[in-house]
Structures are given as C-alpha cells and as structure tokens.
C-alpha cells in the first residue's frame, strides 16, 4: 500500500439519532375574485429576491399608506380579502397584489380589480430577539460559523418572505432540530454570496475554525453558498493541519421557502457528521434528489456538478467518505482520516498571483501571454490527458523561464493528467509544465496558491505539487471511482 493511501486511516462510526425537519409551503392564486389553488412546484429556479412593487401596484399601496408586512383589507370585484401584504419578488406576476391569508394560503389580486385597500394593522418594528439555550453536558458542542449563501436564509411565516439569517442564532433556529443533536454556539463570520468570496475569506475562515477548536468545540459546521463551496473546502483542507475534529462545509441548492428545500436536511446531516470520529475537512450534501441520505465528500475531491439539482455534488476520482442517514446514523469508510490529538494548526500562507486558465481551440498566443504576465503561477485546464495547442507551448515555456509555475489539469475533471503519452504532452513536460495528477482544476488552483505561499523555487514547487497533502492525489483511480 502506498504511503499516501496509508495516511487515510481506519473505520470509525458514530451514529446520532433525531427527527428530520420538514418544510412545506403551499400557495394559491386569486385572479378577478376566483381562487385557483396552486400545486407544489419543485422545478429549478433562482431564489426570488425582493424588488420594488410595479408602478400600478405602488400607486394603490401609496394611496393606502400600505407596505409589505401590513395587515390589509382589500375589496376587489365585490369580494373581500384580509391578510398580510406580501413583498413583491422578481418572479411575482406583473400588476398583482399578493396577500397571505390567515389560512396560510397566498392570493394574488389583479390591481385593476382592486376597489379599495385599507391598513388594519402594522407589524412589529423589529423581529423578536432569539437566544440559544444553555449547553447541556450530555451533548457535544458544535460551532456554527455562518458565511451566507442560500442555506443561510429562513422563511418569515407571517409574510412568507425569505430573509437572510442576520445572526447565526437565526440560522440555527431555522432548523431547531439541530438542538436535539448537539449544543450549538453560533456566529456569523461574513454574509456573502459565494461567488464574491476571495482567498482572504478562506484564510479568515481557517483562523476562525481553529479558534473554535482551541475553545473546545467538538466540531465545526460552516454553512456556505454552493457555487464556490468546493474552492473553500479545498482551501481549508490545505490550511488546517492536525484537525482534532471535523470541519463540515454545508450548503443548500434551494432556499427554505421552497417546498423542495434541502437546507434543513443538509444542516442536520452536517451537525451529525461534525460529531463523528473524523479529522478532516469535508462537504456534506444530498446523495440523491430525494431525502434518502446525505453524502460525505472529502474537501479536496468534491465538486459541484449541476447548477440546480439537490444532489449536485460529487466526489471526483475518489469515492465518498461516507453517508448520513435520516435516522441519524453516520457511516464512514476506511479511507477517513481520524481525529488528530492536536493541536490544530493554521498554515494559511497563500500567493494570490495565481490564475486558473481554461484552454480552448483557437486560443490566441497573445491572449495567453497577456494572462500570464505578472503571475507567479497558473493552472491550465487542458484537454484530455493534459494538452493545449502546439502554438501555445512556447508561451508556457517562456513563462516557466520567467519564474511562473505552470500546472496542467484536465477539463475532463475525471481521470489523471498524463503528459507522457503524446508528443504534445511530452513537449509540455520539456517546457517545464507540472502535472496536476488527478486533482480537479479548482483544487490544483487552490493548492498552487498554497504551495507558492511557502516557496517559489521551481524544484520545490514541482515536488510539493506532486506530494499528497490532504487527500487531493489518489495514487490509483479504481473503476468504482467514476462519478456518473
């Protein structure tokens, strides 16, 4: 057995049991006084964001001095409707005034049919403050570090509006079943859509996670936007050494206002994994489109592979580390790295002058040359076994001579780079291009930043990129490690 395989230890199990959170939101539409009950919709769509009312609706509401959240009485076409005025979203019908009735159903009224609007009650000025209960000795304490994203939202069931969880306590209360699994101490590190995250955010997150372990946390859960979740898990995997407990990064493909939301199950699964005998950074997401189980992915091997499916995440060139079942059982494979005795160390030096470049047929030499100018490193996502067009090889060779570390990954995502097979690959090797082995382009990009944060000496960079640090290199890819 190779040394890199031996590093990822033995079989460990730690089942926890609790009930599963269920969220269901049902709507109805009223047009011209006729009610049509809507059906539950699970088709993929973006999260509806609050926008201003259309001019005709705004004029009616301004006349009544009404705004969303008010309780209003509306007369339309001889019908009388009383309920909570809902906010207008990007997906709301044009010139439709929407109320939430006391029954919980929503009604939409065409503004042209409205005869009068009267405000009968105003909402409280502020949301009630919520506090987590004191910890109990019979449960482990998990730290929840909020970062934003779809999972960090909750439904105001009075208005039906989706709010960002402005405090980590609100995020926890969106899934109160978490408190049956563990004690929670929660705080928001930042609240950012994941596409806006930068390497500096990864560094801060690593430091904050380490602080939690110093304070005795039995595990850390990081709710995170899904779009760049795999960048963050890779970065934390390299920057956090000798983990005394798991760091579990978790997201949601659909917000909690959706009947098909995966937020509650994913958060609950993440909390259970955070108490398991696991000493590495992992991602926990849905294993199937249904709620049958969650999957535990190694932080350096996971990638988002679909824009909207609930089971969008896959382990690439590796099998998952385990499963989380709805009854609370956590199953871990023999490949997991167990908890270290510690202390957990932060090694967060990063070189930010690194780029991820996608090769395509017809790519101009001048474009690649301009992209590489001023960089310390670049990961090229090449075709197949790791190729670019022959006219780009001198550009890469020149960059290597100028001190730029150039690493070749593959656009296929699955499989290994092998530049020894064809002439193009051998020419790239002669030019000094380093193989990313079976790392995804994203993991190779993050690792190169981390390596260059420690050294820029070409032989040392090449050696470090070929060394398995956090399970990012699989010495042998088995037939069962192809993600379908």
Give the C-alpha separation, 450 to 149, whole Å: 25
Token pair recorded at residue 247: 């760091």
Q: Which residues contact 208 (CB under 8 A, 6 or more apart)?
A: 145, 189
How far apart, in Å, are the Cα atoms of 305 and each of 104, 105, 302, 446? 36, 35, 9, 18
Q: Give the neighbor-by-neighbor strand order of the sheet with 294-298.
A: 183-188, 141-146, 219-223, 247-250, 281-286, 294-298, 322-324, 330-332
Q: Measuring CA to CA, which residue among 111, 124, 113, 126 is closest to residue 62?
A: 111
Give the C-alpha separation, 84 to 102, whole Å: 8
Alpha helices in 109-228 (DSSP H): 168-173, 178-181, 199-214
| Tokens 């979203």 found at | 89
How far apart, in Å, are the Cα atoms of 334 and each of 29, 189, 276, 476? 53, 33, 14, 16
How many other C-beta atoms lie within 10 A of the C-beta of residue 90?
A: 10
Give the C-alpha separation, 310 to 250, whole Å: 12
* From 98, 304, 311, 443, active-site residue: 304
Q: What is the largest CA-CA distance in the chain?
A: 82
Q: Are 197 and 232 in contact (CB under 8 A)?
A: yes
How many other C-beta atoms lie within 10 A of the C-beta of residue 39?
A: 8
Q: Determine whether 304 is an active site residue.
A: yes
Give the C-alpha separation, 70 to 123, whole Å: 6
* Total number of residues shown for the chain: 484
Q: Determine whether 39 is an active site residue.
A: no
Give the C-alpha separation, 414 to 483, whole Å: 8
Q: Determine whether 226 is an active site residue.
A: yes
Cα 407 to its chain centre, rounded Å, is 26
Beta bridge partners of 81: 74
Cα 24 to its chain centre, rounded Å, is 23
Q: Which residues contact 194 (CB under 8 A, 6 or more apart)?
A: 147, 148, 149, 224, 225, 226, 227, 228, 229, 232, 251
Q: Determine whether 18 is an active site residue.
A: no
* From 226, 344, 424, 443, active-site residue: 226
* From 156, 227, 242, 347, active-site residue: 227
Residues tagged active-site = 150, 226-227, 304
């Amino acid at each position: 057995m190779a040394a890199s395989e031996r590093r990822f230890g033995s079989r460990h199990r730690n089942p926890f049991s609790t009930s599963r959170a269920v969220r269901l939101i049902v709507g109805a539409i009223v047009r011209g006084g006729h009610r049509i009950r809507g059906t539950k919709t699970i088709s993929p769509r973006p999260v509806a964001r609050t926008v201003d009312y259309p001019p005709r609706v705004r004029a009616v509401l301004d006349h009544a001095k009404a705004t969303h959240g008010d309780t209003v009485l509306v007369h339309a076409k001889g019908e009388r409707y009383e309920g909570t005025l809902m906010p207008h979203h990007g997906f709301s019908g044009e010139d439709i005034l929407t109320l939430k009735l006391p029954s919980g159903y929503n009604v939409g009224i065409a503004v042209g049919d409205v005869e009068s609007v009267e405000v009968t009650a105003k909402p409280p000025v502020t949301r009630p403050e919520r506090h987590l209960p004191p910890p109990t000795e019979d449960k482990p304490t998990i730290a929840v570090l909020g970062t934003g994203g779809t999972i960090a939202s909750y439904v105001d069931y009075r208005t039906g509006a989706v709010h960002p969880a402005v405090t980590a306590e609100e995020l926890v209360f969106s899934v109160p079943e978490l408190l049956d699994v563990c004690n929670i101490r929660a705080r928001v590190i930042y609240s950012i859509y994941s596409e806006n995250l930068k390497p500096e955010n990864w560094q801060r997150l690593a430091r904050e996670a380490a602080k939690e372990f110093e304070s005795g946390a039995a595990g850390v859960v990081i709710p995170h936007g899904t779009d760049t979740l795999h960048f963050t898990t890779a970065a934390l995997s390299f920057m956090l050494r000798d983990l005394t407990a798991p760091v579990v990064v978790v997201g949601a493909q659909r917000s909690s206002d959706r009947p098909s939301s995966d937020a509650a199950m994913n958060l609950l699964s993440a909390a259970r994994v955070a108490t398991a005998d696991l000493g590495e950074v992992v991602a926990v997401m849905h294993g199937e489109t249904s709620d049958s189980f969650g999957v535990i992915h190694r932080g350096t091997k996971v990638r988002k592979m679909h824009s909207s499916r609930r089971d969008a995440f896959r382990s690439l060139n590796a099998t998952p580390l385990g499963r989380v079942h709805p009854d609370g059982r956590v199953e871990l494979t023999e490949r997991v790295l167990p908890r270290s005795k510690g202390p957990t160390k932060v090694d967060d030096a990063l070189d930010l002058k690194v780029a991820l470049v996608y090769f395509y047929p017809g790519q101009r030499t001048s474009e690649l040359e301009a992209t590489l100018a001023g960089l310390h490193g670049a990961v090229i996502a090449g075709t197949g076994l790791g190729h670019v067009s022959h006219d780009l090889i001198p550009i890469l060779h020149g960059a290597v001579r100028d001190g730029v570390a150039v690493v070749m990954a593959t656009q296929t995502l699955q499989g290994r780079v092998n530049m020894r097979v064809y002439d193009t690959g051998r020419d790239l090797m002669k030019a000094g291009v380093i193989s990313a082995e079976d790392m995804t382009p994203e993991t190779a990009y993050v690792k190169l930043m981390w390596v260059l944060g420690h050294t820029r000496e070409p032989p040392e960079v090449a050696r470090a990129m070929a060394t398995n640090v956090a399970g990012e290199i699989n010495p042998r890819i088995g037939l069962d490690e192809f993600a379908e």
